[in-house]
C-alpha cells in the first residue's frame, strides 16, 4: 500500500528511543522528514544523525514537552527548517508503578503534566499551522490504560484517559479544517517503560522480573508482546491519506487484550 508520506514533515515527541524512536525510523523509511522532540537530547541527536539520508532530513530539538516555551520553540524551529508541519505524533510520556496508597501529590501532578498537559501544549502550538494549510494529522500515543484502569497505574490511567478523551473532542473540533486526530492504544511492549514497571513490581512482590513478565503475557489472547513496529505501522497508516475518513478513534494494538 502506497502511503504517500514522501516529502511530508512530521514531529515526534518522545522520539529519542522506544516506540517514538521506531516511529521516527518508520517515517524516514517512507521518505518523510522528522523533527525529534525529546528531553533526551543526546539520544535524539544521535538518532537524527544516523537516520538523515537522501531527501528525508531528521532534526533533533531539545524539548521538555511540559514547558510551553520549549514546545513553542519546537514548532517555530520545525516551521523555520521545513516551512510546514503535516504530522504531529505525541509519544512522550512517563509511567510509574505505584498503588494509590503510595501515590503522592507530586507523583500525580508530574504524571498528568508529562502525559496529558503536553498533548494540549503541542496540539495548541501546531494547530494554527495545520489550520492555515487545511491539512494535518495528529496521532496521540495513548495506552490500553487509556481505556481500562489497572492496579498500580491509577495516575497513569488518569493521564491516558485524558489523552483518549482529548483526542475525541479535538477531532470533532478540527474536522472542519481537514485535520485528523486519532490515538493509538498499545498494550505491552518491553521498552524502558516496562523495564521500570518490572523493577517496581519485583521490588513490591519479591517475584522474579521474568515471572512477572510471563504472567503479563498470559493476559494477552495472542500470547505475545507487541513490538514497536506494530505501533509504528498503525501510526504510519493514520498519518497518511489512506485513513482520511478515520478521526477521533483510539486504535488498540494489544494482541486482543482490549477489543473496543
* Footprint of ligand NAD (CB under 6 A): 13-14, 16-20, 38-40, 63-66, 91-94, 114, 141, 143, 186, 188-189, 191-194
156 is catalytic: yes
Minimum distance of ligand NAD from residue 64's CB (angstroms): 5
Question: Long-range CB contacts (< 8 A, 24+ apart) of 122-128?
Answer: 122/11, 122/13, 122/37, 122/65, 122/71, 122/74, 122/75, 122/88, 122/90, 123/88, 123/90, 123/166, 123/170, 123/181, 125/71, 125/72, 125/74, 125/75, 126/11, 126/75, 126/85, 126/88, 127/174, 127/179
Q: How far is the CB of 189 from ligand NAD (least distance, A)?
A: 4
Closest to ligand NAD by CB, 135 vs 152, is: 152
- DSSP state, residue 56: B
Smallest gap from Cβ 176 to ligand NAD, in A, equals 28
CB of 173 to ligand NAD, least distance (A): 22
Nearest to 63 by CA among 114, 5, 132: 114
CA angle 108, 113, 118 (to 5 degrees): 155
Q: Which is nearer to ligand NAD, 38 or 97 (CB)?
A: 38
Q: To the nearest whole angstrom, how small is the minimum distance from the Cβ of residue 140 to ligand NAD?
A: 8
Judged by CB, which is closer to ligand NAD: 20, or 136? 20
Of 41, 120, 135, 156, which is the active-site residue? 156
Angle of helix 18-29 versus helix 228-239 axis, rounded to 10: 50
State the DSSP H helix or E strand holding residue 238, giving kind and residue range, or none if neither: helix 228-239
Residue nearest to ligand NAD (CB): 18
Please, which residue, 93 or 174, has the CB nearer to ligand NAD?
93
Cell of 63: 524539548
Cα 174 to chain center, whole Å?
19
Closer residue to ligand NAD, CB minimum distance, 193 or 234: 193
135 close to 179: Cβ distance less than 8 angstroms: yes
Residues with catalytic annotation? 156
Amino acid at each position: 500500500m502506497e502511503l504517500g508520506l514522501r516529502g511530508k514533515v512530521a514531529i515526534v515527541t518522545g522520539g529519542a528511543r522506544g516506540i517514538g524512536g521506531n516511529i521516527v525510523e518508520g517515517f524516514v523509511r517512507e521518505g518523510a522528514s522528522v523533527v525529534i522532540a525529546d528531553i533526551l537530547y543526546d539520544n535524539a541527536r544521535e538518532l537524527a544523525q544516523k537516520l538523515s539520508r537522501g531527501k528525508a532530513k531528521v532534526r533533533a530539538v531539545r524539548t521538555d514537552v511540559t514547558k510551553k516555551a520549549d514546545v513553542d520553540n519546537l514548532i517555530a524551529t520545525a516551521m523555520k527548517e521545513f516551512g510546514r508541519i503535516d504530522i504531529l505524533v505525541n509519544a512522550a510520556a512517563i509511567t510509574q508503578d505505584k498503588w494509590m496508597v503510595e501515590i503522592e501529590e507530586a507523583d500525580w501532578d508530574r504524571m498528568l503534566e508529562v502525559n496529558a498537559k503536553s498533548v494540549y501544549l503541542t496540539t495548541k502550538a501546531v494547530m494554527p499551522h495545520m489550520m492555515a494549510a487545511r491539512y494535518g494529522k495528529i496521532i496521540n500515543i495513548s495506552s490500553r490504560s487509556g481505556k481500562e484502569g489497572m492496579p498500580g497505574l491509577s495516575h497513569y490511567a488518569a493521564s491516558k484517559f485524558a489523552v483518549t478523551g482529548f483526542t475525541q473532542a479535538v477531532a470533532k473540533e478540527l474536522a472542519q479544517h481537514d485535520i485528523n486526530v486519532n490515538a493509538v492504544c498499545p498494550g505491552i511492549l518491553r521498552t524502558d517503560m516496562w523495564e521500570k514497571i518490572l523493577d517496581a513490581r519485583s521490588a513490591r512482590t519479591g517475584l522474579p522480573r521474568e515471572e512477572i513478565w510471563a504472567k503479563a503475557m498470559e493476559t494477552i489472547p495472542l500470547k505475545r508482546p507487541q513490538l514497536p513496529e506494530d505501533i509504528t505501522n498503525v501510526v504510519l497508516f493514520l498519518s497518511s491519506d489512506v485513513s482520511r475518513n478515520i478521526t477521533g478513534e483510539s486504535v488498540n494494538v494489544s494482541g486482543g487484550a482490549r477489543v473496543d
